[in-house]
A and B are shown apart, each in its own frame.
Chain A
Amino acid sequence: MPPPMPLVSIQNLTVSLPPGADRPLATEAVSLQIGRKDIVCIVGESGSGKSVTAHAIMGLLPRGVRPADGSILFDGVDLLKQPPEAMRRRRGRDIAMIFQDPMAALNPVVSIGRQVAEQIRAHRPVSESEALKQTTSLLREMGLKDVALGAYPHQLSGGQRQRVMIAMAISLSPKLLIADEPTTALDVTTQAQILKLIKRLQAEREMSVLLITHDFGVVADMADAVAVMRHGRIVESGATRQVLGNPSHAYTRDLIAAVPRGESRLPPVPDPQPVMQVMGLTKRFQRGGLFSRTPAATALDGISLTLNRGETLGVVGESGSGKSTLARCMIRLLDPDAGEVRLEGADIAHMPSARLRPLRRRIQMVFQDPFSSLNPRQTVGDILIAGPRAHGEAVAAAKTRAADMLQLVGLSPQCLDRLPHEFSGGQRQRIGLARALMLEPEVLIADEPVSALDVTVQAQVLKLLDDVRRQMNLAMLFITHDMRVAAEICHRVMVMRHGRIVEQGPTRDVFAQPSSDYTRALLAAIPGRQAR
């Protein structure tokens, strides 16, 4: 008996990019098979061509991006030769897709019930009430029992929105579900739930799933087979167990090695010298306008912590836990409502801004978004000397130091005259770090500095941060949503939830013997944990 025909068979798919792009081809001779009832993962860093491959199957390539060669056989039919109208009918019915950002994928002004029902009625001749009935049972199947059909996307959490997207995607029982980084924008516990849901639906409905991800932990948890992509080519593919356990290609080995292990490496600092102390810090956000009676939301509720010289304190928590608000209150980008922030004796929490300005150089910050954290219209040199100039340093002296600083963060001094858009995400984060270090601070606050970076770049930037911390004997507050990253770089960690500290202690202890249920849930939700 011949082996069963795979559901999808991509052969030598070459997709060309419009002239003027950074490379001529988005994918080059990609061949990939998705078996029936299989979960196949494509793993790769940004720009590897993994999303283009997925969009080519859907027939939804962006303008100017065209398949130049190869074929995509779906149940024996070449999708690339189908007329647009036939592809439109297939989309949703045979192949469905969910995206990274459910907020952008859902229509903000139409209730979720209508959106799902509309999808059903676009393909099936059913009445509106029948479609709504089906929607109700679908949403229940997604675990959205409490969500009304009339709810609007903005009223739901990120996880709930992604469940609505999944309900919409599977409403017509497609044979293939394509999920393009479906959990990247979600918290780790939500991510675990959504992945579990996709796996359950795949088994119940006997679908095939093509999962695009950058996270090997997700691969380990989900995939039957995996393909590793780089620069538009598949460098390695095979059964998950084989690729993860015995990678044959050097790039796959690098990628796997770059995934933070989630094992603590740094012991507590032996002789702690406090630099910065936070006591009872509280911040409320007033919602609504002048006449609104909505109560204020408490973002920080009596947080106390100490930062020691040469030590990294990790603040871990999911979105909305208040960790970024904490950082912004400590550095006075926000004004706290109560509590003290002591920087070697002086309370900066309520200091007027004129007195605060000279103290600002002692506490600096590295931001999350490598694209919005550098002024797009200033050269790297101007960005780096802005701080010293604000504190009265001469331009020439600052320029000299800027060149040295670039070398310290691993960039060439020739970069001084270039503009931020000429750099990659990882290089921009290095520039952002250099800008902070130009003022020779004692405290460095890093707010999710690596969460927007590819995993190999992330590992390099983490190492740089740790090196700099050691060289300059910095006290560092490291904010992250990723327990694995926290384990990598922090001496101590603090777990936050709803503006309160749930647990804190030396990283080793918190990871080995978490004392709270919430920390245990966070640790259990780390993808790829069972696989190790």
Chain B
Amino acid sequence: MAFLRDFLSRPATVAGLAVFFLIVAIALGAPLLFARGPFSIVGMPLLPPGAPGLLAGSDVLGRDMVVGLAYGARISLLVGITSTFCAVGIGVLFGAIAGYYGGLVDDLLMRVTEFFQIIPSFVLLMVLVAFLQPSLGSTVIGIALVTWPQVARVVRGEFLSLRTREFVQAARVLGMRDGAIIFTQILPNALPPIVVISSLMVGNAILTESALAFLGLGDPNLQSWGSMIGDSRSAMWVAWWTTVLPGACIMVTVLALNFIGDGLNDALNPRRRR
């Protein structure tokens, strides 16, 4: 519990957590609050915020911006969290095996990792999503495929240093199997950097999803913050709220996640513990 106290002792972290949970609550509550969905037209297009019944105004097609933003949060968080989850899974597996066994296995796996790293990742992502047909699933798979190498690198580094520690050697001397050593001895000690990098990756994935959606490579049946900006870009100069509000949502969410990541980093890193 010393960890929790330490983690929650930073104002920026607490603010980040509060904002993040608020967004999660809005995302979960969207279908209950706005049963008619984000695509229904409720009035004249481009009504400014504060128009009767429209807190955040309406967009180019006369849809309620508040409803769009609430439903957009669902997509952003869903994509951010699931793609990070997949990327961390692949990255941990590759990194752990490469770092633990070293030698030829390491060389081989790291070449595969580098293959993904030397290709401009956003271009690869666009090709992937276009090839798989734009949908929620293809976005998640695409983002996971271009982001796992950074996890693999971090995990491999941790494993390389941890495997030489005497408690790992002791586990080998005791006759434990490699799988048990990797998962019960080393991985728990490598968790802190993985947790930190994951929290930052969620923010990055949200940004990437927005960029894809802006370019029209999102799921056409779903409203996300990125696609809202993309759809409204022609009205940017006459109706600022149509692009600024979703943009602000992306910024606030990513900022909150970064604050959480920084807090985790400080709290999990014993050298920086106060």
Which of B166, B173, B180 meets A364, CB within 8 Å? B173
Q: Do B174 and A387 touch (CB < 8 A)?
A: yes
Question: Is residue A323 within 8 Å, beta carbon to beta carbon, of the partner chain?
Answer: no
Chain B 153-189 per-residue mask, 1 if CB under 8 angstroms from chain A, else 0: 0000000000001110111111111001000110011
Contacts of A360 in B (CB 8 A): 173-175
Which of A361, A374, A376 meets B175, CB within 8 Å? A361
Q: Do A391 and B185 touch (CB < 8 A)?
A: no
Q: Do B175 and A333 touch (CB < 8 A)?
A: no
Which of A361, A367, A387 meets B169, CB within 8 Å? A367
Q: Do A377 and B174 touch (CB < 8 A)?
A: no
Question: Is residue A357 within 8 Å, beta carbon to beta carbon, of the partner chain?
Answer: yes
| Known A-B contacts A390-B175, A391-B175; A376 and B170 likewise in contact (beta carbons under 8 Å) | no
Q: Do A333 and B169 touch (CB < 8 A)?
A: yes
B167's closest neighbor in chain A, by CB? A375
Chain B nearest CB, measured from A185 CB (Å): 18
Q: Do A368 and B173 touch (CB < 8 A)?
A: no
Chain B 20-44 per-residue mask, 1 if CB under 8 angstroms from chain A, else 0: 0000000000000000000000000
Query: Considering the chains assembled together, what is the distance between the CA atoms of A358 and B184 in angstroms?
Result: 20
Query: Considering the chains assembled together, what is the distance between the CA atoms of A373 and B170 in angstroms?
Result: 7
Query: Considering the chains assembled together, what is the distance between the CA atoms of A502 and B97 in angstroms?
Result: 41
| Known A-B contacts A367-B166, A374-B167; A386 and B173 likewise in contact (beta carbons under 8 Å) | no
Query: Considering the chains assembled together, what is the distance between the CA atoms of A520 and B60 in angstroms?
Result: 93
Chain A nearest CB, measured from B188 CB (Å): 5
Q: Do A331 and B175 touch (CB < 8 A)?
A: no
Question: Is residue A236 within 8 Å, beta carbon to beta carbon, of the partner chain?
Answer: no
How many residues of chain A have a CB within 8 Å of chain B?
Answer: 27
Task: Identify 27 residue pairs between A and B in the complex whose beta-carbon atoms are under 8 Å apart, listed by A's number.
Answer: A333-B169, A333-B173, A357-B177, A358-B175, A360-B174, A361-B175, A364-B174, A365-B170, A367-B169, A367-B170, A369-B166, A372-B166, A373-B170, A374-B167, A375-B189, A377-B188, A377-B189, A386-B171, A386-B174, A386-B176, A386-B184, A390-B174, A390-B175, A390-B177, A391-B175, A435-B170, A439-B175
Query: Considering the chains assembled together, what is the distance between the CA atoms of A439 and B165 in angstroms?
Result: 21
Question: Is residue A432 within 8 Å, beta carbon to beta carbon, of the partner chain?
Answer: yes
Query: Considering the chains assembled together, what is the distance between the CA atoms of A376 and B166 in angstroms?
Result: 11
Which of B166, B180, B189 meets A373, CB within 8 Å? B166
Query: Considering the chains assembled together, what is the distance between the CA atoms of A333 and B166 in angstroms?
Result: 11
Query: Considering the chains assembled together, what is the distance between the CA atoms of A129 and B180 in angstroms?
Result: 60
Query: Considering the chains assembled together, what is the distance between the CA atoms of A363 and B172 in angstroms?
Result: 12
A377's closest neighbor in chain B, by CB? B188
Query: Considering the chains assembled together, what is the distance between the CA atoms of A419 and B178 in angstroms?
Result: 23
A435's closest neighbor in chain B, by CB? B170
Which of B165, B172, B176 meets A372, CB within 8 Å? B165
**Chain B residues within CB distance 8 Å of chain A:** 165-167, 169-177, 180, 184-185, 188-189
Which of B174, B180, B184, B188 meets A435, CB within 8 Å? B174
Chain B nearest CB, measured from A423 CB (Å): 14
**Chain A residues within CB distance 8 Å of chain B:** 331, 333, 357-358, 360-361, 363-365, 367-369, 372-378, 386-387, 390-391, 432, 435-436, 439
Which of A363, A391, A432 meets B170, CB within 8 Å? A432
Most buried by B among A361, A387, A391, A436: A387
Query: Considering the chains assembled together, what is the distance between the CA atoms of A357 and B180 in angstroms?
Result: 13
Most buried by B among A360, A372, A435: A372
Query: Considering the chains assembled together, what is the distance between the CA atoms of A130 and B175 in angstroms?
Result: 62
A439's closest neighbor in chain B, by CB? B174
Contacts of B171 in A (CB 8 A): 375, 386
Contacts of A368 in B (CB 8 A): 166
Most buried by A among B172, B174, B177, B185: B174
New A-B pairs, 19, CB < 8 Å, besides A357-B175, A372-B165, A386-B184? A333-B173, A357-B177, A358-B175, A361-B174, A361-B175, A364-B174, A365-B169, A365-B170, A367-B169, A375-B167, A375-B171, A375-B185, A386-B174, A390-B175, A390-B176, A390-B180, A391-B175, A432-B170, A435-B170
Q: Do B176 and A365 touch (CB < 8 A)?
A: no
B174's closest neighbor in chain A, by CB? A387
Query: Considering the chains assembled together, what is the distance between the CA atoms of A367 and B168 in angstroms?
Result: 11
Query: Considering the chains assembled together, what is the distance between the CA atoms of A357 and B167 in angstroms?
Result: 17
Query: Considering the chains assembled together, what is the distance between the CA atoms of A367 and B170 in angstroms?
Result: 8
Chain B nearest CB, measured from A335 CB (Å): 12
Contacts of A357 in B (CB 8 A): 175, 177
B178's closest neighbor in chain A, by CB? A353
Query: Considering the chains assembled together, what is the distance between the CA atoms of A331 and B180 in angstroms?
Result: 19
Query: Considering the chains assembled together, what is the distance between the CA atoms of A129 and B178 in angstroms?
Result: 58
| Known A-B contacts A367-B166, A390-B180; A376 and B189 likewise in contact (beta carbons under 8 Å) | yes
Chain A nearest CB, measured from B148 CB (Å): 25
